[in-house]
């Protein structure tokens, strides 16, 4: 999207005014009116059309800007569809129920939230996909939490923290590869450099979750045993149900395309389901599209397993397309480029440069709701400035991830935020205060910017 040529050059006042109005419109509608994000984003598009008309920008040019923006989300759309199919497939094959059963075994009276954070971090690191981790393991731990009366909001915060640690640090992650490629640094150099901020934040997050972990009394455990018994009695737990997950790991490690990886694991899951189910093929197709409907008779288990399907992703897909269209329009009308130009002239020091880059990555997430654009736009805009203050490019790549990748799940109208809320059933603003890893990462990178800790000079890159 950063290749979209601005058609006009608005004044700084105009760019700021439009941006503030859009932020207020979206945040007020979602937080105060509890509206779905689609409506305020659509209203923001109409507002930009009006602004463009006043600036005598032809409607065709604005339409082209929106189309160019939306094109960048086609890959994500297919990924979301495949994740919807994967969830249904993994429930039919018993993979998610088996993961839930195993997660129940990990319930401990001590350090429960830390366990959730650690396990999701390891799985996220292994498969390199935060959303896949949330959609599979996250569902399992939400089920555990409901069984032992733990806070679903805190569990969601732990799941999001762990999943996005993996998304940020895994060499298999698309955002990690994107940040390295946009800035032009070696992938593993980028990952090693991120360790300076990520590892301390990881440790602090682990301690915080240990500190707030509940004292789960023994009286609460019979409910867990009941849910485990339901899963086994319904024939949903099998040793071979781990195989689709292992296949996902294997293909991810081999760096197979995520499209192929998700599709292969979903197909494998469907095939395994025939080992313990005589579901007709026509019904299989219906489940893959509409989602799995659990009828165990246990309300808690049914609530956890009734989900998935391509249709469940339509809400997120429509938001992706709307958000990217808004971003394309903001760029073609010159609003985002004008803001970047205004920021650049005030950046004379290392501290202000790093802080501005972090703030810009966060700002793009807030205005457009898309993490890829926060990496792309901020990376393109700040490369020259980092060189001016003598910083190596890998410092910019680290900043993009510290303040870009991990912020999107905290934005109620962001692509990741909406996906997580839809999948786990926990509002973004409910788990936001407990997503410690995501909240602390940008703070760490800004502190390092002011102190100079671990910042590499350009000649030493």
Query: What is the per-residue burial (b if ≥16 Cβ within 10 Å, else e) of 419-444?
Result: bbbbbbebbbebbbebbbbbbbbbeb
pLDDT at 218: 53
Using CA atoms, how far residue 239 sits from 62, 102, 128, 350, in Å, is: 55, 11, 24, 54
Compare 13 and 228 and report the one with higher pLDDT.
13
Q: How confident is the model over 316-345, as a mean pLDDT?
A: 82
Q: How confident is the model over 295-316, as a mean pLDDT?
A: 79
| Chain-centroid distance, C-alpha 245 | 20
pLDDT tens by residue, 17-32: 998 898 888 878 877 7
pLDDT at 460: 53
| Chain-centroid distance, C-alpha 37 | 16
The highest-confidence range among 33-37, 92-96, 148-152, 181-185, by mean pLDDT, is 92-96
pLDDT tens by residue, 128-168: 778 878 887 787 788 778 777 789 999 999 999 999 998 89
Using CA atoms, how far residue 440 sits from 178, 212, 423, in Å, is: 22, 17, 24
pLDDT at 300: 67
pLDDT at residue 52 above 50?
yes
pLDDT at 19: 87
- Assign 1 a pLDDT band (cuts: 50, 70, 90): very low
pLDDT at 219: 44
pLDDT at 433: 96
Could you give the percent of the chain with pLDDT greater than 90? 26
pLDDT at 221: 57
Q: How confident is the model over 361-384, as a mean pLDDT?
A: 81
Between CA 61 and CA 50 the distance in angstroms is 13
pLDDT tens by residue, 384-439: 889 888 889 899 999 999 999 899 999 988 889 988 998 888 999 999 999 999 99
3-state secondary structure 32-77: HCCCCCHHHHHHHHHHHHHHHHHCCCCHHHHHHHHHHHHHCCHHHH
Q: How confident is the model over 252-269, as a mean pLDDT?
A: 84
Q: 349: how many CB neighbours lie within 10 A of its CB?
A: 12
pLDDT at 101: 82
Could you give the percent of the chain with pLDDT greater than 70? 94
Between CA 262 and CA 196 the distance in angstroms is 32
Q: Which two tokens stand for residue 129?
A: 């996909």
pLDDT at residue 347 above 50?
yes
Query: What is the per-residue burial (b if ≥16 Cβ within 10 Å, else e) of 370-391?
Result: bbbbbbbbbbebbbebbeebeb
CB 276 within 8 A of CB 94: yes
- Assign 217 a pLDDT band (cuts: 50, 70, 90): low
Q: Which two tokens stand for residue 354?
A: 């790093």
pLDDT at residue 123 above 60?
yes
The whole-chain average pLDDT of the chain stands at 84
pLDDT at 426: 92
């Amino acid at each position: 999207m950063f290749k979209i040529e601005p058609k006009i050059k608005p004044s700084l006042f105009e760019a700021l005014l439009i941006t503030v109005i859009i932020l207020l419109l979206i945040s007020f509608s979602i937080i105060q009116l509890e509206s779905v994000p689609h409506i305020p984003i659509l209203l923001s598009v109409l507002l930009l059309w009006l602004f463009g008309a006043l600036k005598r920008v032809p409607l065709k040019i604005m339409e082209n800007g929106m189309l160019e923006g939306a094109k960048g989300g086609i890959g994500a759309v297919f990924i979301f569809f495949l994740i919807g199919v994967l969830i249904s497939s993994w429930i039919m094959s018993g993979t998610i129920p088996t993961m839930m059963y195993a997660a129940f075994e990990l319930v401990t009276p001590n350090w429960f939230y830390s366990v959730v954070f650690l396990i999701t971090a390891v799985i996220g690191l292994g498969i390199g996909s935060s959303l896949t981790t949330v959609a599979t393991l996250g569902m399992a731990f939400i089920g555990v939490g409901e069984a032992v009366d733990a806070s679903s909001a805190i569990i969601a915060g732990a799941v999001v923290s762990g999943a996005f640690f993996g998304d940020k640090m895994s060499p298999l992650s698309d955002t990690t590869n994107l940040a390295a490629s946009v800035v032009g640094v070696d992938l593993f150099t980028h990952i090693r450099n991120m360790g300076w901020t990520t590892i301390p934040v990881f440790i602090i997050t682990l301690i915080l979750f240990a500190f707030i972990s509940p004292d789960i009394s023994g009286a609460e455990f019979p409910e867990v045993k009941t849910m485990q018994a339901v899963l086994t009695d319904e024939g949903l737990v099998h040793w071979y149900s781990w195989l689709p997950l292992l296949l996902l790991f294997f293909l991810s490690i081999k760096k197979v395309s995520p499209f192929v990886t998700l599709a292969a694991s979903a197909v494998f899951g469907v095939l395994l389901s025939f080992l313990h189910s005589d579901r007709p093929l026509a019904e299989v197709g219906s489940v893959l599209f509409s989602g799995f409907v659990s009828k165990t008779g246990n309300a808690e288990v049914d609530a956890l397993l009734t989900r998935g399907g391509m249709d469940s992703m339509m809400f997120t897909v429509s938001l992706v397309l709307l958000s990217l269209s808004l971003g394309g329009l903001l760029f073609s009308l010159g609003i985002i480029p004008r803001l970047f130009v205004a920021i650049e002239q005030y950046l004379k020091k290392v501290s202000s440069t790093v802080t501005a880059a972090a703030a810009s990555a966060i700002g793009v997430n807030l205005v457009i709701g898309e993490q890829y654009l926060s990496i792309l736009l901020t990376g393109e805009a700040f490369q020259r400035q980092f060189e001016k203050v003598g910083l190596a490019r890998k410092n910019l790549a680290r900043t993009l991830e510290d303040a870009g990748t991990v912020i999107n799940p905290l934005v109620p109208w962001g692509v990741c935020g909406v996906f997580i809320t839809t999948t786990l059933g926990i509002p973004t603003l409910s788990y936001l205060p407990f997503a410690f890893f995501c909240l602390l990462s940008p703070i760490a990178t800004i502190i390092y910017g002011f102190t100079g800790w671990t910042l590499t000079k350009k000649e030493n890159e």
